[in-house]
A = this chain, B = another copy of it.
Amino acid sequence: MKIAIYGYGNLGRGVEAAVNNAYDMELVGIFTRRAPEEVKSVLGTPVYSAKDILDFKDKVDALIICGGSATDLPKMTPALAEHFNVIDSFDTHAKIGEHFENTDAAAKRGGKVAVISVGWDPGMFSLARIYSYCILPEGKSNTFWGRGVSQGHSDAIRRIEGVLDARQYTVPIEETLNKVRNGDTTDFTARELHKRECYVVAEEGADKARIEKEIKEMPNYFADYDTTVTFITAEEMKANHSALPHGGFVIRTGTTGSGEMKHSIEYSLKLDSNPEFTGSVLTAFARAAVKLNARGEMGCKTAFDIAPADLSPLSGEELRHTML
């Protein structure tokens, strides 16, 4: 399978590593909107200009799009889905419906398969939610994120005057996690579910009290949570907060029969590197996109629409023998 990467930031590098590790895949190239000669690939993959992508229409079986959900993917994915089997990690939950429709129409016009919203959430956590809902319909699901770095919340802090750099960790509240595990079906508040830890590098002479107040009172991002703000030096930031760990828990508890028998289903991830893991998930779904299109399927799909066997390079017989 010939795979290409469109966009080369943290996620693009994660995909490059994952494709490189897949024995049934070959990496054709990286496509960038920057000047190709200025982009150096970690593994020596050829780098091309995004403008030349259509020249590769017949040389690429699947294109993994590594752009941002805010402005890149809503345009890129439908535009490219007409010409390539594509995979993206679109994660703006509220706009998935619109993104799906746009991408579906484009992919159908081109006779291609597009798989959107693939990663760990949406993605693997969505799968944990759908399976546990289907096999335990009488129940309640909860998702906890973290402990991990939220890029969106870190960016929001960086936009405050006097802030040079920031890293925000989302942290599940252990006590609530245990209540949920034990079958408590309360509708917990945002504050009861997660807390937020912020590490901030301030400009010299900046008003730290004002920065802390602005963070803690920021609507949607922080006001509804117990938030701690710790000022650190740029050196401490580099030494202790350069990694992008993440993870979390999807827990469903419920009952069967007359309601006497209780069950709990828990799926959890603990990730050293959010972009490398997400890149690995995108790569597995790229394999599925190629297989589906080869069987004549077309249009937009999510993780919900793909049989797990299609993620694997192994045959049905091998899978039944080794994993069933």
Contact = CB atoms under 8 A, between A and B. Distances in A.
A276 B136 CA distance: 10
Nearest to A243: B261
A84 interface: no
A63 to B, nearest CB: 19
A311 B100 CA distance: 21
Interface in A95-149: 96-97, 100, 117, 122, 124, 126-131, 133-138
Given A277-B263, A320-B100, A308 B134 contact: yes
A284 interface: yes
A268 B303 CA distance: 21
Interface in A298-321: 302-309, 311-312, 316-317, 319-321
Contacts of A317: 97
B268 A256 contact: no
Contact of A309 (B267, B270, B273, B304): B304
A80 interface: no
A219 to B, nearest CB: 25
Interface string A6-35: 000000001001100110000000000000
Given A122-B324, A126-B323, A261-B276, A312 B271 contact: no
A294 interface: no
A261 B319 CA distance: 26
Given A17-B256, A93-B324, 18 more contacts: A14-B256, A17-B257, A18-B256, A18-B257, A22-B137, A97-B317, A129-B323, A130-B309, A130-B319, A131-B311, A256-B273, A256-B280, A260-B272, A263-B273, A265-B267, A266-B269, A302-B320, A304-B324
Interface of A: 14, 17-18, 21-22, 93, 96-97, 100, 117, 122, 124, 126-131, 133-138, 256-258, 260-273, 276-277, 279-281, 284, 302-309, 311-312, 316-317, 319-321, 323-324
B307 A306 contact: yes
A256 to B, nearest CB: 4
A135 B281 contact: yes
Instruction: Provide the main secondary structure of the chain A interface.
Output: helix
B304 A305 contact: no
Contacts of A316: 304-305
Contacts of A14: 256-257
Contact of A321 (B97, B264, B308): B97
A21 B130 contact: no
B21 A138 contact: yes
Contact of A308 (B93, B279, B304, B320): B304
B312 A130 contact: yes
A93 B308 CA distance: 19
B280 A127 contact: no
Ranked nearest first, the 8 interchain pairs of A and B with the lowest CB-CB distance are A134-B311, A17-B257, A261-B273, A256-B276, A261-B272, A304-B309, A129-B323, A134-B284
Given A257-B14, A303-B308, A311-B131, A126 B324 contact: yes
